[in-house]
């Protein structure tokens, strides 16, 4: 998939994302409460600090949270800022925010890139609690779970690419082991502008699918407004997951409204070059280096490599399968059919049942002429779903190709005998009759006739008829 989708080319679409993910730690960011806010009854996973009792103070920023945040930044090729950073207070009234200000750090890393999309900055902040609007109930168990906010440049040019970018970004973070697994969801603020309109921010979209739907809706809405001669003014909108549409939240919002001040309760944090080095040394190979290596080592094309490295589990999976099969073939299958099926099923190779052996075995069957490329696609789907080994799938589906000339000739003769009219038509110059007869052979073999051999034998046989 490309950054640019042709269908949006005339819109000059610019999409930027502010992505919030929960960092994986044992304890909350400023206190000793567990980050497992889900498995305790409402308002039971709290303490004076995370409920902001009068007089309580935050403890220093959780070290593990900071480490995980640095991992994310360095992995995306960001540079860490050298000067000490402050934790700031961002003031706003909301029922799930006990102090009525959220602690959020200044940017800690910036200037990185992932899948061709610029990463502007990454900072750390605290998660608020949860507010059930309809019931008017607040659960503070989540207050203080550490969050990373990743802000991208407006480099994304289509809702489809936004979806793919987010999916692959999440996979990378999961691969790095830095985000909370079971939370599964992301929260994103989505910025979008189209030619002739101002930037619109859509707040608090809670899933990858939601981001895609919100963008699709906004494009249609904004185009309609502009076509009617209206204007798109800067505003913040809310995405309703139920109806999949966006609604105006507030017209004007400025930085001033948040009254940012450095939190006087926390000393500024300095990240030493030694710390950065230490983290860098335990990081997996960066996507950038992996790309260079794959292209050189396996002679794979850029598009295939991009598709492989955007999912690090998949890139590991590919390397494993390439040990026992032709890497070019393996790369192609992993990057196209396998990835397509995984996306379709909303799975990753780490969560599906398919193994690298499935791919290498399958390629072996194709190379020996025992499996058709067309049927191989079905094999991949079944392997993803069931994990059954290739040989038994081949049997079960009766996918073994017939490539023995004797067997094929027997069938061809039978088909020709059954369809004398078609044979006559071919003789009088009707090429379509060949396709008709080929179809009959395919039907007769339940699709297992090796195509190129069948065509050749059929032609030979027809020529021999007087």
CB 354 within 8 A of CB 314: no
Q: Which of 14, 40, 47, 131 binds Zn ion (CB under 5 A)?
A: 47
When asked if residue 27 is in the footprint of other proteins (CB under 8 A), the reply is no
Q: Which of 264, 273, 417, 429 binds other proteins (CB under 8 A)?
A: 264
| Chain-centre distance for alpha carbon 17 | 14
Count Cα neighbours of 326 within 13 Å in the Cβ-side half-sphere. 11
When asked if residue 50 is in the footprint of Zn ion (CB under 5 A), the reply is yes
When asked if residue 89 is in the footprint of other proteins (CB under 8 A), the reply is yes
Closer by beta carbon to Zn ion, 59 or else 249: 59
CB 15 within 8 A of CB 156: yes
Q: Which of 382, 389, 364, 366 is nearest to 450 (CA)?
A: 366
Q: For residue 162, how many other CB atoms are within 10 A of its CB?
A: 26
Which one of 95-103, 169-177, 298-306, 364-372 is the stretch in contact with other proteins (CB under 8 A)?
A: 95-103
When asked if residue 192 is in the footprint of Zn ion (CB under 5 A), the reply is no
Task: Choose from Zn ion, other proteins, none: what does 282 bind? Cβ within 5-8 Å by kind.
Answer: none
When asked if residue 157 is in the footprint of other proteins (CB under 8 A), the reply is no
Complete DSSP assignment for 306-318: HHHHTSHHHHHHH
Closer by beta carbon to Zn ion, 99 or else 286: 99
| Chain-centre distance for alpha carbon 207 | 11
Q: Is 233 exposed, middle or buried (0-12, 13-18, 19+ CB in 10 A)?
A: exposed
Tokens standing for residue 81: 């800022």
CB of 33 to Zn ion, least distance (A): 3
Task: Choose from other proteins, Zn ion, none: what does 43 bind? Cβ within 5-8 Å by kind.
Answer: none
How far apart CA 375 and CA 30 sit, in angstroms, is 55
CB of 167 to other proteins, least distance (A): 35
Residue partners of 61: CB distance under 8 A and separation at least 6: 29, 30, 87, 105, 124, 266, 269
CB of 272 to other proteins, least distance (A): 18
Tokens standing for residue 320: 């494993």
Beta bridge partners of 372: none
CB 222 within 8 A of CB 202: no
Which one of 76-84, 265-273, 284-292, 357-365 is the stretch in contact with other proteins (CB under 8 A)?
A: 265-273
When asked if residue 85 is in the footprint of other proteins (CB under 8 A), the reply is no
Give the strand pairing for 235-240 and 200-205. parallel
Tokens standing for residue 239: 């995405």
When asked if residue 50 is in the footprint of other proteins (CB under 8 A), the reply is no
Closer by beta carbon to other proteins, 3 or else 267: 267
Closer by beta carbon to Zn ion, 103 or else 213: 103
When asked if residue 58 is in the footprint of other proteins (CB under 8 A), the reply is yes
CB of 260 to other proteins, least distance (A): 6
When asked if residue 31 is in the footprint of Zn ion (CB under 5 A), the reply is yes
When asked if residue 52 is in the footprint of other proteins (CB under 8 A), the reply is yes
Which one of 53-61, 304-312, 349-357, 360-368 is the stretch in contact with other proteins (CB under 8 A)?
A: 53-61
Task: Choose from other proteins, Zn ion, none: what does 33 bind? Cβ within 5-8 Å by kind.
Answer: Zn ion
Residue partners of 237: CB distance under 8 A and separation at least 6: 200, 201, 202, 203, 218, 246, 247, 248, 249
Q: Which residues lie near Zn ion (CB under 5 A)?
A: 31, 33, 47, 49-50
Q: Which residues lie near other proteins (CB under 8 A)?
A: 48-49, 52-60, 89, 91, 93, 95, 98-101, 254-257, 259-262, 264-267
């Amino acid at each position: 998939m490309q950054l640019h989708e042709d269908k949006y080319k005339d819109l000059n679409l610019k999409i930027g994302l502010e992505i919030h993910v929960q960092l994986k730690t044992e304890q909350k960011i400023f206190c000793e409460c567990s980050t497992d806010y889900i498995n305790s009854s409402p308002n039971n996973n709290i303490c004076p600090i995370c409920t902001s009792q009068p007089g309580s103070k935050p403890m220093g920023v959780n070290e593990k949270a900071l480490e995980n945040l640095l991992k994310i930044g360095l992995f995306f090729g960001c540079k860490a800022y050298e000067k000490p950073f402050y934790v700031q207070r961002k003031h706003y009234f909301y029922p799930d925010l006990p102090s009525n200000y959220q602690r959020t750090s200044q940017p800690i890393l910036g200037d990185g890139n992932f899948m061709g999309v610029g990463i502007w900055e990454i900072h750390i902040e605290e998660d608020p609690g949860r507010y059930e609007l309809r019931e008017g109930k607040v659960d503070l168990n989540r207050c203080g779970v550490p969050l990373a906010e990743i802000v991208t440049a407006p480099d994304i040019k289509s809702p489809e690419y936004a979806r793919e970018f987010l999916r692959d970004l999440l996979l990378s973070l999961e691969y790095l082991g830095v985000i909370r697994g079971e939370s599964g969801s992301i929260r994103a603020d989505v910025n979008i502008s189209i030619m002739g309109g101002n930037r619109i921010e859509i707040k608090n979209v809670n899933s990858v699918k939601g981001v895609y739907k919100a963008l699709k809706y906004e494009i249609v809405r904004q185009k309609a407004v502009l076509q009617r001669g209206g204007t798109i003014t800067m505003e913040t909108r809310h995405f309703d997951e139920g109806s999949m549409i966006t609604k105006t939240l507030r017209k004007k919002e400025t930085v001033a409204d948040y009254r940012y001040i450095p939190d006087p309760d926390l000393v500024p944090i300095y990240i030493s070059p030694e710390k950065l080095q230490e983290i860098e040394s335990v990081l997996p190979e960066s996507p950038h280096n992996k790309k260079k290596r794959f292209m050189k080592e396996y002679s794979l094309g850029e598009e295939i490599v991009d598709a492989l490295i955007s999912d690090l589990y998949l890139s590991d999976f590919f390397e494993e399968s390439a040990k026992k099969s032709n890497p070019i073939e393996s790369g192609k299958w992993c990057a196209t059919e396998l990835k397509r099926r995984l996306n379709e099923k909303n799975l990753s190779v780490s969560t599906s049942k398919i193994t690298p052996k499935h791919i290498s075995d399958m390629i072996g069957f194709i190379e020996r002429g025992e499996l058709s490329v067309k049927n191989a696609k079905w094999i991949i789907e079944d392997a993803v779903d069931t994990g059954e080994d290739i040989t038994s799938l081949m049997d079960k589906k009766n996918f073994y190709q017939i490539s023995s000339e004797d067997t094929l000739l027997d069938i061809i003769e039978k088909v020709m005998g059954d369809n004398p009219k078609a044979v006559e038509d071919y003789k009088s110059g009707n090429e379509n009759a060949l396709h008709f007869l080929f179809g009959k052979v395919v039907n007769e073999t339940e699709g297992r006739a090796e195509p190129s051999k069948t065509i050749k034998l059929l032609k030979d046989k027809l020529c021999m008829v007087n």
